Amino acid sequence: MALRNHPAKYSAFGLVRRGLRKTNWPRVWREPDWKSSYDVIIIGGGVHGLATAYYLAANHGITNVAVLDKAYLGSGGSGRNTAIVRSNYLTPEGVAFYDRSLDLYNTMSVDLNLNVMFSERGHMTLAHTDSALRTMNWRAEVNKLQKIDSSVIGPDEIKKLAPSLDVSTNTRYPILGALYHPPGGTIRHDAVVWGYARGADAQGVDLHQKTEVLDILCEGGDGADGKGAGATVTGVRTRRGDISAPIVVNCTAGWASTIAGMAGVRLPITTHPLQAAVTEPVKAFLPTVVVSGSLHVYVSQTDRGELVFGASVDPVATYNMGGTLEFTEELAGHVLELMPGISKMRLLRQWAGLCDMTPDYSPVMGPTPVEGFYVDVGWGTYGFKAGPVSGEQMAACVANRATPDLIKPFELSRFTEGELVGEKGAAAVGH
Ligand SMILES: Cc1cc2nc3c(=O)[nH]c(=O)nc-3n(C[C@H](O)[C@H](O)[C@H](O)COP(=O)(O)OP(=O)(O)OC[C@H]3O[C@@H](n4cnc5c(N)ncnc54)[C@H](O)[C@@H]3O)c2cc1C
């Protein structure tokens, strides 16, 4: 990452020399001077905030933009996720949206001039019951209508794609079939964050780390301090001082409802932790991503050989990111149901991140009742894959002051208008 514009340092010798000296590493992005006003402030330096900043500059020429993060870039879900990307969702709105993200991921290494290690290895969602198989068939039909490569396959084909899976019929949770989606896969999450950060910085966007937003400044609203419906945003209060701006975008995922509350906007979001774990590395044996919604587990193998496991969110709403033994035990039990052959592998570590869950398992994007205050939130357990498309679309939304068609179904107003975009069948576990 530190090698941009320094071709001589690409040599292995140069890397070792610099690593040993630990000095003079060129910065990948600037440490910008403090400014008291911007055209756009983005709260949250995850993939969504950084992608929005990048596309504001790249697609709309809006560069007087600040991204504020209370910690370091990628310290939220963007640096904690299991890096699965796919577009085989359940609703036509969801499929079209996530498919655009896959398009952007496909050309990202070239667009950002950084290898983001996109591995298009296929994504398989197992069905252990008739009702699960029915949902897979439903998804396959929705997908095919939108020209997404996605179909239901039987146990023989599943065994060919992932020989380590136990597809025999005498198991506790027999595998009846699977939804197979060849364009899905994994991508290096840190690289995506760094790529957008570097790209935004190079175009003049200021990335302020360790800059916590404490309040959102508004005037003219019905609520306390002139906030809430009818208000206009005027800026933010941070630990380092106030910044004025006519537009503030909330890209804070797990913290989204707290930040929206600072503007007097109530979001239908609860925050739950999501845990994940990784094993020691072994030889490559799992060529696709495997998900089991019924067993609340999914697994993929990294290029280094580790197995990365995830699950569904913890059942209790909390901001606590501690790991639990309960998660590890359930995970191990469920994974061994699917792949008894890996019982000797050792877990290396586990971690958690915060997920902003909405009632319909779809995101919330676009304007709010406070003029100039936008949200790009509700990313639950599935928001990493959406980073590029929501960045692109939110940038257009802010630049043109109009919600683009692709994200119109995801506006906050859908909750009052009763137009939910129900994605639970495709998003509850299979990230
Ligand atoms: C364990 C785990 C596995 C996951 N796996 C997948 C997966 O395989 N595929 C997938 O698509 N998605 C996955 N997700 C979900 C995905 O990680 C998130 O939806 C996505 O990263 C959200 O990105 P973001 O940029 O919106 O938010 P984040 O990356 O969470 O960034 C929000 C930022 O806001 C900052 N912030 C918060 N409050 C303030 C404040 N007051 N002031 C300033 N800054 C603030 C935080 O420091 C943080 O950096 C997973 C999540 C977890 C936790």
Pocket of ligand 1 contains residue 43 by CB under 6 Å: yes
pLDDT in tens, 193-228: 999 999 999 999 999 999 999 999 999 998 878 999
Examine the pLDDT at 274 and tell me if it is beyond 70. Answer: yes
pTM: 0.95
Q: How far is the CA of 356 from the centre of ligand 1 (A)?
A: 9
Alpha carbon distance 126, 120 (integer Å): 19
Residue with tokens 């609703």: 91
How many percent of the chain have pLDDT more than 90? 89
Instruction: Compute, in angstroms, the gap from residue 255 CA to the centroid of ligand 1.
Output: 9
Q: Are 138 and 303 contacting, i.e. CB atoms less than 8 angstroms apart?
A: no
Whether ligand 1 lies within 6 angstroms of the CB of 272 is answered as no
pLDDT beyond 80 at 378:
yes
| Beta strand pairing call for 347-357 and 270-279 | antiparallel
Model pLDDT, residue 175: 97
Sorted by where each starts, the structural domains of the chain and their CATH numbers stand as 32-113+189-268+360-427 (3.50.50.60), 123-183+271-357 (3.30.9.10)
DSSP-H helix ranges across 61-219 = 92-111, 130-145, 155-161, 189-202
Is residue 77 lining ligand 1, measured as CB closer than 6 Å?
Answer: yes
- Return the residue whose CA atom lies nearest to atom 52 of ligand 1: 81
Centroid of ligand 1 to alpha carbon of 355 (angstroms)? 7
279 lines ligand 1 (CB under 6 A): no
Question: What average pLDDT does range 379-388 have in this prediction?
Answer: 97
What DSSP character marks residue 159?
H
Task: Give every CB contact of residue 86 below 8 A, 6+ residues apart in sequence.
Answer: 98, 102, 123, 181, 183, 184, 185, 289, 385, 430
State the DSSP H helix or E strand holding residue 205, giving kind and residue range, or none if neither. Answer: none
Is residue 382 in contact with ligand 1, taking CB distance under 6 Å? Answer: yes
> CA 50 to CA 149: how far, in whole Å?
30
Partners of residue 241 on adjacent β-strands: 238
Q: Assess whether the C-beta atom of 243 lies below 6 angstroms from ligand 1.
A: no
What is the per-residue pLDDT across 86-124, written as a single tens digit (0 to 9) for each?
Answer: 999 999 999 999 999 999 999 999 999 999 999 999 999
What's the length of the chain?
Answer: 431
Is residue 291 in contact with ligand 1, taking CB distance under 6 Å?
A: no
